[in-house]
Structure 1
Amino acid sequence: MSSTSTSPLILTPPPVPHTSGVEKALLTGVGVGLVALATVAFDADAQRAKICFWVALALISIGTLGWAWWKFGHQPAGVRQDNLWLRGSTGRGAIAWLTAVVLTGFYVVLYWFSSPDDQGNFGPLNQLVHALDPFSQALRHKPSDQWFLYGTFYTLAVLIMGGRALWKYRHSPYQRIRTASVMFFQLGFAFLLPGLLLAFQRPEYYFSYFWPLKYDYLFPGTVGYLLKDGGPGLGVFMVFWGAAISFIGTPILTYFYGKRWYCSWVCGCGGLAETAGDPYRHLSDKSRTAWRWEVRIIYTVLVLIVLLTALLWLAASGAVPALQPITDPLSRAYGFAIGSVFSGVIGVGFYPLLGSRVWCRFGCPMAAYLGLLQKHFSRFRITTNGAQCISCGNCSNVCEMGIDVKQYAQRGEPIIRAACVGCGLCSTACPRGVLNLENGPREGRYQASPLIHPDSLRILS
């Protein structure tokens, strides 16, 4: 009689993430640059601070791009999400928390402690602001201020981390073109063009931002300012451009291309999320509870800005005099709570903890507007082939909008979600080619793959 013995199951811990010597050296350069940049704010010598500022930016830029070239260029092309939850920087570890505190602190200081005094002192950011004076004079013909500092940092982050994304996703033509697009619109339309308008003594206008995201562009006060200071030609065009894109261009473009035409190709908020926020995309909460809060909050914000805009125009018309004393405080309250705290402090400061699309997913009224159009009127959808899905979960892991893509792929259901920004990373990360971005006829958008039994069809909201 023989006996059969079974060995106990031994669980081996996952391998510790390995960082090569070259990577450590390049990342050290980035770290030194960040420390040097922080010391500029406390340097009493203006000339030394200016030199240190530009040296710090050079170290950060060269170090980051060099690291991306070494990290992604010295291995076969493809999406790899290895060890993300094991790293302190991308797994909500100590480095992630430190990064979140620094980003949040910077936004708090920028918004509420950097207004200039009579001597042109910008508080804690004074030396950083004035280090950009020569550049600001060359571009805008005026000294730098806290918002020019912020725009410079923002644009530099999109360009540098965009270079990283180009290396990481170099095997995907769609990702390369999409990344180049957000880099182009941020640099050209959200940074250089507004500066050049100021140089010609015209209103600083951002042609790549529209109502309701850039909510004040259709407020009566802003419209009047643009018409007055922009002149009879340019001012009228600015007002026309903002209104036409918001109410005519957006529905038409979304009908053909979904919300991706804006959220993933043009918008500066989305551009920062897709570049600087790319290391954190896996952190987005995929639970049903998070989705319920998403729906409750984002559509509430959309309703608020629609009502506020209507109230402001009603008050400006004089039809309801009682509205005039309250509309201005209401607009300031919206600007503080939504325009500053939500979109800035939380929207970017919480990247390392909640993912890169916190603002886009939970608060952006433009995303809500585009999402309604996409879900109910657009030709865009992501088709799936459930017969080829191996349930690896790569698609869900890279979805920054909190969509559990794998559930759709397993059933062969097309993805028609209002939240989807069409970044295409789920398709790029799929090892079997299960997911495809399509702009087909509206008929059949909700039909599952014929390989899936009709009784299994279940559309998730």
Structure 2
Amino acid sequence: MTTISSFPAQPLAHPTPATAPAERGWLALVALGLLALLVTAAAPAGLRGPAFWLGIALLSTGTLGWSWWKFGQGPAGVRHNFLWARSSTARGAVAWITGIVLTGFYVVLYWWPQYLENLIRPLDGLSQTLRHRPADQWFLYGTFYTLAVLLMGARALYKYRHSPYQRIRTGSVMFFQLGFSWLLPGLLLALQKPEFYFSYFWPLKYDYLFPGTVDYLVRDGRALGVFMVFWGAVMSLVATPVLTYFFGKRWYCSWVCGCGALAETAGDQYRHLSDKSRTAWRWEVRLIYPILGFIVLVTALLWLGAAGVLPGWFTSSHSSGLPLVDGVSPLEGLSKVYGFFIGSIFSGVIGVGAYPLMGARVWCRFGCPMAAYLGLLQKHFSRFRISTNGGQCISCGNCSNVCEMGIDVKQYAQRGEPIIRAACVGCGLCSTACPRGVLNLENGPREGRYQASPLISAESLRILE
């Protein structure tokens, strides 16, 4: 019996075009920059500084030049050309190599930072200027992370320059990453204040509302520490529900969050890789909400322990004569396990390492407790929705292709149904990619939020007649 697999592979109707010489030149600079950084990791002390900064200069120049040449020369717009034909964006060899390199970097960063010393030491001067202390692995990581957001943010600005919403949104994540996640924490350390990230809130930064962290901030930060505690509590428990009511979860996930910043800039080219199947959606529900429930439970138990409601041996490692394991109480052990498996392995190693294979929002979609919290508010209490005009939909699939959260947007658009999903981060790319103006991001009234427009229903009836 003849099977499908017995037929020879058919060539593409439009073969992948050869890379232009100018593009190769810019990409060569990127490759030379990465090579210089690789040389830095094994270079002697006298050469590692020049090699490091040469690598950063080549990498930055090549990325900005390539972005300008690739997206800034032709007409603006969302182009899906050959995404599933290129090795780098179709889970080919280049994608696998990229994923392995990213995963390896995170593993070394978290557990063997001594192998990154040659990359850390060239940053001592910058770290001393900003933080008044030598560089460490986290300063290296923060610098690389911020540089990636800025460089690939420039790429996104070129690519989506025709869309005011995308320009503002991209500029916003670049601003918050540079100012609130890199510069401000460093300046706080320079002033001998507690390091604090004003753009991260509980439950994403889960320990910010733990009793031990609150006590540390108030004790070491004094008046500023009291403000930090107040800021974290108000933003987590008051401002988040209010802002989500008016704007949906996009106010944070697509405009502020550092995880979202990297996904929306460096991960933009991998949007189409997100799994749109119902099985993936089931796994999303099975993972993200239990993670949120776990951190809520741990936070509540810690506060009950601090209030003396629970036995001290269960919540504190400072109780004497009580059963502890390696000096850690059971509840502290649970928080450490969470930090290891969810905070490190899931959000870092898997979350970023899986970009080239599963899309850029794996962490946001399957693991982030903040996304789960915001998603529940968005789905049940928010005014935000994406309205659709089914009568204009031509079923091109552009909207589903760019959805990084695994939502099959086309299915909603074809039926003229508003999109109200807990997963949606409001990036707006589905609307930007639509050639017919079918999709619109709205903060409309709650009434009729789940209903299709009567005009669309009437149009559908006329088509049927």
Question: Does the 8 Å contact 1:49/1:131 carry over to 2?
Answer: yes
Structure-2 residue corresponding to 1:153: 144
Instruction: Check if 1:170 corresponds to 2:169.
Output: no
Match of 1:379 in 2: 383
Alignment CA distance shift 1:61-1:448 (3 Å):
same
Amino acid at match of 1:249: A
**1:294 equivalent in alignment to 2:284:** yes
SS at match of 1:86: coil
What letter matches 1:412 in structure 2? Answer: G
Note the alpha carbon deviations across 1:250-299, whole angstroms, 9 max, x for none: 00000000000000000000000000000101100000000010011000
Return the offset for 1:36: 1.2
How far apart, CA to CA, are the structure 2 residues paired with 1:392 and 1:350?
A: 27
Do structure 1's residue 16 and structure 2's residue 7 form an aligned pair?
no
* 1:239 alignment partner, one of 219, 229, 247: 229
Q: What residue is the counterpart of 1:186 in the other structure?
A: 177
Residue in structure 2 matched with residue 367 of structure 1 by the alignment: 371
| Counterpart residue type for residue 300 of structure 2 | A
- The correspondence for 1:314, drawn from 304, 316, 322, is 304
Q: CA deviation at 1:433?
A: 0.4
Structure 2 residue corresponding to 1:142, chosen from 118, 130, 133 = 133
What is the CA–CA distance in structure 2 between the aligned matches of 1:373 and 1:318, rounded to whole Å? 32
Q: How far, CA to CA, are the matches of 1:408 and 1:206 in structure 2?
A: 38
- Give distance in 1, aligned partners of 2:255 and 2:18: 34
Following superposition, the deviation at residue 453 of structure 1 comes to 4.4
Counterpart for residue 203 of structure 1 = 194
**CA offset digits 1:366-409 (Å, max 9, x no partner):** 00000000000101100000000000000000000000000000
SS at match of 1:381: strand
SS at match of 1:193: helix
The share of aligned pairs that are identical, in percent, is: 74
Secondary structure of the 1:438 match is: strand
User: In 2, distance between residues paired with 1:18 and 1:11?
Assistant: 15
Counterpart CA distance in 2 for 1:369 and 1:28 is: 43
Match in the other structure for 2:56: 57
Mapped pair 1:254 → 2:244: yes
Structure 2 partner of 1:111: 110
The TM-score with structure 1 as length reference comes to 0.93
Task: Give the Cα separation in 1 of the matches to 2:87 and 2:46.
Answer: 37
Among 425, 428, 434, the alignment partner of 2:438 is 434
Match of 1:423 among 422, 427, 430: 427
Superposition deviation, residue 338 in structure 1:
0.4
Distance 1:415 1:204 in 2: 39
Mean CA deviation greater in 420-429 or 68-77: 68-77
CA–CA separation in structure 1 for the residues paired with 2:386 and 2:16: 36
Aligned with 2:84: secondary structure?
Answer: helix
- Displacement of 1:315 in angstroms is 2.2
Q: Displacement of 1:67 after TM fit?
A: 0.4
Counterpart position of 2:321:
none
Partner of 1:85, secondary structure, is coil
Amino acid at match of 2:108: V
- Per the alignment, residue 459 of structure 1 pairs with none
Q: Amino acid of the residue matched to residue 376 of structure 1?
A: H
User: What is residue 78 of structure 1 aligned with on the other side?
Assistant: 77
Residues 15-24 or 283-292, more deviating? 15-24
User: Residue 66 of structure 1: CA displacement?
Assistant: 0.3
- Counterpart AA for 2:126: F
| Unmatched segments (≥5 aa) in structure 2 | 1-9, 316-328, 461-465
Which residue in 1 is equivalent to 2:7?
none
1:80 counterpart SS class: coil
Letter of the 2:410 counterpart: K
C-alpha contact 1:386 1:449 (8 A) present in aligned 2: no
* 1:343 partner amino acid: S
What code does the residue aligned with 1:184 have? F
TM (norm. structure 2) is: 0.92
- How far the C-alpha of 1:220 sits from its partner, in A, is 1.2
Secondary structure class of the residue paired with 1:14: coil
Which amino acid in structure 2 is aligned with residue 125 of structure 1?
L
Range 432-441 or range 323-332, more displaced: 323-332
Aligned equivalents of 1:242 and 1:17: distance in 2?
51
Q: 320, 323, 338: which one pairs with 1:334?
A: 338
Out of 104, 122, 136, the residue aligned to residue 131 of structure 1 is 122
The whole-number CA distance in structure 1 between the counterparts of 2:172 and 2:255 is 6
Q: Distance in 1 between matches of 2:421 and 2:364?
A: 14
Amino acid at match of 1:33: G
Indicate whether 1:445 and 2:449 are aligned: yes
State the shift of 1:451 in Å. 4.4
Count of aligned pairs? 437
Which has the higher mean CA deviation after the structures are superposed, 325-334 or 394-403? 325-334
Structure 1: segments with no counterpart, 5+ residues = 1-9, 115-122, 457-461
Deviation at 1:14, TM superposition (A): 3.1
Quote the offset at 1:132 in angstroms.
Answer: 0.3
Deviation digits for residues 405-444 of structure 1, max 9, x if unmatched?
A: 0000000000000000000000000000000001111111
Contact 1:17/1:87 (8 A) holds in 2: no
Counterparts of 1:337 and 1:319, CA distance in 2? 29
CA RMSD of superposed structures (Å): 1.4
Q: Which amino acid aligns with 1:73?
A: G
Q: Which amino acid aligns with 1:23?
A: E
